[in-house]
Amino acid sequence: MGLVNWGRPTDRPMAKEMAALLAGAAAIALCMPAAKAQQATQPAADQQSDQTKKTDQKSAGDSTLLDKILVISRTGETAIQSLASASHVDKEQLERRMATTPNEMLLGVPGVAVQADARRVSSSINIRGLQDFGRVAVIVDGARQDFQRSDHGTQSTFYVDPELIKSVDVIRGPVANTYGSGAIGGVVFFETKDAGDFLKPEETWAGSLTGRYETNGKGWTTSASGAYRFNENWDVLGNIVYRDYGDYKNGGGDTVAGTGFDVLSGLLKTTIRPTENSELKLGWVGSKDGWTETSGGVPANDVDLKSNTFTARYNITDDAKSWLDLHINASYNKTLLDLTTLVPQNRFDPTTGLPVVLPAGSLSTFDVGTTGIDIWNTSRFETAGIAHELTYGGDWVGDDVETGGTAGGDSFYTPSG
């Protein structure tokens, strides 16, 4: 940096002093940003160091809570890994919702709609516009729910009490065939509760009582559960639920006829572990439901339903869980629905096709039994450093349908077979 002095020769000493002063001021000015930057950087570094130390101390003293991994496929993949459109409703979500019907369990699940109309205990699931006639497979603990009754309402319905359910998996699209064949729309898989959901590792027995009251419809729900662990390889769970609901009122304050119902449902489930690498689950889920159907706001039919589902699920793996991860599921589901007319109804004679009057008290029965077996194995191996997971197997499902009743009744539209 150069300074030009325009003063006289007699002023040179003062000029030199002024030049030195200006040079010093310039040097200080140039050094100020660096000094400020150093001062600003040092506290940040100290703060970061303190935070790092605190984090290290916290990690060393406390465990770190990781995000939940929701397994939704048979191979143990997460929703992202499965490369499928899948959703999972866990136990905590179900408890917060306090669902009364399956419709309330699946609220907010993308691409899923549940049709229940006034008969709130019976539900039919729609996935991306596909519904009924086997397009959507509803499975409870590995057992297919194939009950069907053809009328002006829903066709393929199922009956399950939300109080018995631990989690729900929804897999949309044909990729859902990994849970069983024939469902082009998707699969909804309900998993019931286990004894392990009530028992802590050190506990032998546990009990639970639940009571709930809803003002709209004056609905009562009571539930009692009991779990017992005989030893580390054998436990059992029992659960009974009773619901009694009256007709609810709509937004305008008017009572909606035919919306009341009563349900008595139960669950019995045991888990046996014969070896360290094998597990056998035996279960029963049953319900006895009753409700009234209306036509034009007038009670038309009295409906009684009994449903029983029996399941056996066995799983065995090798020590490394590599080539052997075998699952064998066997199930039987039987649903019996009795429909009794309360008023005379206009129908058509199934033989002549002529109009007839169906008298009050006429009975129509729908008896559907579904037997299923599902076997699959998953092998895990590597080739050239690439990990592979191969799932293969097969399943078989058979329906036995028996309908009957007064000629011209509703059972005519659901033939036996």
Checking 124-132 for CB contacts under 8 A at 24+ apart, the result is 124/154, 124/155, 124/156, 124/157, 124/158, 125/158, 125/188, 126/185, 127/170, 127/172, 127/185, 127/186, 127/188, 128/172, 128/173, 128/185, 128/186, 130/184, 130/185, 130/186, 131/155, 131/156, 131/185, 132/156
Secondary structure of residue 218 in the 3-state scheme: coil
Residue 295 banded pLDDT, cuts 50, 70, 90: confident
Which carries the bigger pLDDT value, residue 48 or residue 320? 320
What are 126-174's pLDDT values in tens digits?
A: 899 888 887 898 999 999 998 888 777 677 788 889 999 999 999 888 7
- How much is the pLDDT for 26? 43
Q: Which single residue is written with the structure tokens 């054998």?
A: 234
Q: Using the 8-state DSSP alphabet, how is residue 249 labeled?
A: B
Q: Rounded to an integer, what distance in angstroms lies between the CA atom of residue 71 and that of residue 120?
A: 30
Q: By mean pLDDT, which of 109-123, 237-251, 348-362, 390-404 is the weakest?
A: 109-123
Q: Report yes or no on whether pTM surpasses 0.95.
A: no
Mean pLDDT of the chain: 80
Q: Cα(237)–Cα(221) distance, rounded to whole angstroms?
A: 20
* Residue 46, pLDDT score: 46
The per-residue pLDDT for 130 is 87
Structure tokens at 378: 């998953």
CA distance readout (Å), 313 to 116, 328, 347, 374: 30, 6, 45, 9
Share of the chain above pLDDT 90, in %: 36
Q: Report in angstroms the alpha-carbon separations of 150 from 133, 156, 188, 350, 366.
A: 10, 8, 21, 15, 10
Cβ neighbours around 118 below 10 Å, total: 18
What is the spatial order of strands in the sheet that 234-245 belongs to? 205-214, 219-231, 234-245, 261-272, 278-295, 298-317, 325-341, 363-383, 386-405
CATH code that applies to domain 85-413: 2.170.130.10
Question: With the CA atoms of 109, 114, 119 and 122 taken in that order, what torsion angle do they form, in degrees rounded to the nearest 10?
Answer: -90
